[in-house]
Chain A
């Protein structure tokens, strides 16, 4: 067990190295940052700045310097904000995390009961309707869903705030918007996992013993769904973070996604690097946690 964990940890470090390489590469692709920082300056000034900021060094050297800095938590100073980049990014991170986790929670809260019902009432109107409705959510662009929800609940019915991050109520619409994204797949998994076990022997035995139907379902069948659910939920996290970028813009949520989008527009390298790296780090950590949970929950692997 310990060696497994150790191997996973080693893998994590390697992945992080790869992540930093890609982060480094994105910005090399976009051309000369100095020309964009000071388009009107004479070439002599630009050349001097280029030299002093180290953009003339060979790529390998620049990369090594980059990694060395990251390890110390130094992503440089944001060109736009003129402050250290990493603290700015970290200040916004909880907002995005809160939104994403909430959306994930909402997704699970919807997917589990509906999935169970769909499996139990398989191929009935309920099943088909649930499938359809849930798929509807995932078939529209996220920003469109968001705008529609605003028009419906905030403008027409006036039950929720349009945008912002001022109160718990402001969390609702963005979370729902994001949740429409991830619910379908989770629902399918719950449903198919349930279907797998519903006819199995030990379930029938439990029924025969007189245990109530619902208890049987919830206790035994859900356990089967837990594993794939956890795995997929972890994978979905990355997708949700992508969706969060859009949701944050529509609902004016002061999160990391919006910060990065703005930074990309302004070619604010340090923020883009710090932001992308932190997001990737979160995804890697989440996947690692999921991996560990998987190991813990899966009896077969543990025995080995």
Chain B
């Protein structure tokens, strides 16, 4: 039940076939309105995150006790200039959300990057070298999979103290096993194929075989997995914030904003709701795009 396997080898050596393959994927993607909508939303969010200081209408840390709990502009009591309202100390929610996009996405992407590097490397080694190495690595995978990721993350972050780096590392190091499994399955399937034999015949070293021929063929699975994992990481970070082990910095993630605002949901519903919507939209878009990406890359479903 591997995800997105059995794509035809996208060997860089097979030039024209590769290009044609790529455009086929693109065309499939573009045919789906949900995927397009999702991609556009993501573009907006990433853009906002990158250009945050220019896009945000206010300083996200600017407080004002008079402006506490201002409701959104379209409701009674709303103030123009504070579109989505203000929080417990009068900071503009929209600006905090835009800056929060940075941190949330950073945590998501960085954690996944860590997982990816560790997981793919181990997966390649495991599938290619087989034997003892494979057994050891897969046992480690099994062990890691036995712990609920959240529990491990919670234990380590609580012990090491909250900080952005700790959270990224901990989320990264508890989420790599999925990559290993998928990449290993791919490598196992592909290593007997002709082009690998051919490479060996012309004297390519194992490392070269691994990197130039096998790795590129796992890209599709990795890409799909990564998009979904970023969504997961954002949600896991929110869960950690809820349990009280957030990053503790002045620029909160969306998850932290929800966590901090959840007690006030009955008196200031806009506090946790808008960051919640932000997470919802981001994760939804990622899921839609990732889903279609998987469908597009997998020749079986069309």
Contacts and interface: CB of A to CB of B under 8 A. Distances in A.
A242 B150 contact: yes
Nearest to A27: B159
Given A144-B272, A261-B243, A18 B140 contact: yes
Contact of A280 (B146, B284, B288, B300): B146
Q: What DSSP secondary structure best describes chain A's contact surface?
A: helix
B238 interface: yes
Interface in A255-284: 257, 260-261, 264-265, 272, 276, 279-281, 283-284
B279 A141 contact: yes
B265 A151 contact: yes
Given A135-B288, A141-B279, A26 B156 contact: yes
Interface in B266-291: 266, 272, 276, 279-280, 283-284, 287-288, 291
Contact of B243 (A22, A26, A239, A246): A246
Given A18-B140, A136-B284, A246 B150 contact: yes
Contacts of B291: 188
B277 to A, nearest CB: 9
B284 A135 contact: yes
A279 B148 contact: yes
A283 B147 contact: yes
B158 A265 contact: yes
B159 A11 contact: no
B1 interface: yes
A246 B145 contact: no
Contacts of A232: 1
B287 A139 contact: yes
A245 interface: yes
A128 B34 CA distance: 9
A246 B183 CA distance: 31
B120 interface: no
B146 A19 contact: yes
Contacts of A19: 143, 146-147
A31 interface: yes
B242 interface: yes
Contacts of B276: 140-141, 144
B58 interface: no
B12 interface: no
Contacts of B121: none
B145 A238 contact: yes
Contacts of B283: 138-140
A142 B150 CA distance: 12
Looking at B155, B160, B300, the one whose CB has the most chain A CB atoms below 10 A away is B155
Contact of B242 (A22, A141, A235, A257): A141
A9 interface: no
A124 to B, nearest CB: 14
B34 to A, nearest CB: 7
B63 interface: no
Contacts of A139: 231, 235, 279-280, 283-284, 287
Interface string B138-179: 011011111111111011101110000000000000000000
B262 A238 contact: no
A19 B156 CA distance: 15
Nearest to A30: B159
Nearest to B285: A139
B122 interface: no
Contacts of B109: none
A15 interface: yes
Interface in A193-247: 195-196, 228, 231-232, 235, 238-239, 241-243, 245-246
A238 B146 contact: yes
Interface in A137-161: 138-144, 147, 151
A29 B143 contact: no
Contacts of A241: 148, 151
B258 interface: yes
Contacts of A196: 300
B150 A18 contact: no
Given A30-B159, A139-B231, A246 B242 contact: yes
Contacts of A238: 145-149
B128 to A, nearest CB: 21
A14 interface: yes
A77 interface: no
A17 B272 CA distance: 42
A267 to B, nearest CB: 8
A18 B139 CA distance: 8
Complex A-B, nearest 9 residue pairs according to Cβ-Cβ distance, in ascending order: A30-B159, A18-B143, A242-B148, A242-B150, A139-B283, A141-B238, A280-B146, A241-B148, A139-B284
Given A30-B158, A139-B235, A141-B238, 13 more contacts: A18-B139, A26-B159, A136-B284, A139-B284, A141-B279, A143-B242, A144-B238, A144-B258, A189-B1, A261-B154, A264-B158, A279-B147, A284-B142
22 contacts: A11-B139, A15-B146, A18-B140, A22-B143, A22-B147, A26-B156, A132-B34, A139-B235, A143-B258, A144-B276, A188-B291, A192-B301, A238-B148, A246-B242, A249-B242, A261-B243, A264-B158, A265-B158, A279-B147, A279-B148, A281-B146, A283-B146
